[in-house]
């Protein structure tokens, strides 16, 4: 059998799951604590270097960073762009990869576009300020948080590669 044919068959096997199959099979969703651990890992691996570079390379130190609203806003914007790039290119951030998760479209189980990934990050910021959206996965069968609902995305488990 040709390699191209084998490759197409392996892709089709991963896309055969319907939305109903995913919702009914609770083992396909990551545990919520793993989502939190992935978020903390991302904060240390992506956001901390950004903050360090802005505070100590661009500015003169932490006092200058704390005094500058532009520097703080630019750190958030830069983190949002990097996060959206990770999600749109590989459907995983470093933290999600460490805990075997992917962020995919709810309907097609395909990767999100850059704009939708960016919207997901903005929606996360909005729902995190109220905390209500972050507790929603405890009450839903599909384990979606409010930012997942707003962006039409979902977290799924993947096998370690």
Q: What are phi and psi of 88, to 5 degrees?
A: -75, -30
CB 101 within 8 A of CB 92: yes
Per-residue pLDDT in tens (0 to 9) along the chain, 161 residues: 566 665 566 555 444 455 555 445 556 888 888 889 999 999 999 999 999 999 999 998 989 999 999 999 999 999 999 999 999 999 999 999 999 999 999 888 899 999 999 999 999 999 988 888 878 888 888 888 899 999 999 989 988 65
- Identify the pLDDT of residue 5: 64
pLDDT for position 161 = 57
Task: Report, in angstroms and rounded to the nearest whole number, the Rg of the chain calculated over CA atoms.
Answer: 18
pLDDT given at position 11: 53
Alpha helix locations (H) across 61-140? 62-67, 69-90, 94-98, 114-130, 132-135
Please name every residue paired with 155 in a beta bridge, in sequence order, or none if there are none.
Answer: 103
91 DSSP assignment: S
Reading the block at residue 69, the tokens are 């609203």
Domain residue extents for the chain: 23-157
* Among 41, 136, 146, 145, CA closest to 94: 41
Pairing of strands 101-105, 153-157: antiparallel
Tokens of 45: 């691996």
Per-residue confidence (pLDDT) for residue 14, from 0 to 100: 47
Count CA within 13 A, CB hemisphere, residue 118.
Answer: 9
User: Given its phi and psi angles, is residue 159 left (phi above 0), alpha (psi -120 to 50 degrees) or beta?
Assistant: beta
């Amino acid at each position: 059998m040709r390699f191209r044919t084998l490759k197409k068959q392996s892709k089709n096997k991963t896309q055969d799951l319907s939305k109903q199959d995913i919702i009914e099979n609770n083992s396909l969703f990551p545990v919520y604590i793993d989502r939190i651990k992935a978020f903390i890992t991302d904060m240390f691996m992506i956001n901390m270097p950004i903050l360090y570079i802005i505070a100590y390379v661009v500015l003169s130190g932490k006092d200058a960073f704390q005094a500058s609203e532009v520097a703080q806003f630019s750190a958030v914007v830069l983190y949002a762009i990097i996060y959206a790039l990770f999600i749109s290119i590989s459907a995983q951030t470093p933290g999600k990869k460490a805990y075997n998760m992917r962020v995919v479209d709810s309907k097609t189980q395909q990767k999100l576009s850059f704009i939708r990934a960016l919207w997901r990050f903005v929606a996360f910021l909005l729902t995190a300020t109220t905390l209500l959206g972050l507790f929603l996965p405890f009450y839903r069968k599909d384990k979606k948080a409010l930012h997942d609902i707003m962006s039409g995305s979902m977290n799924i488990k993947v096998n370690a590669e």
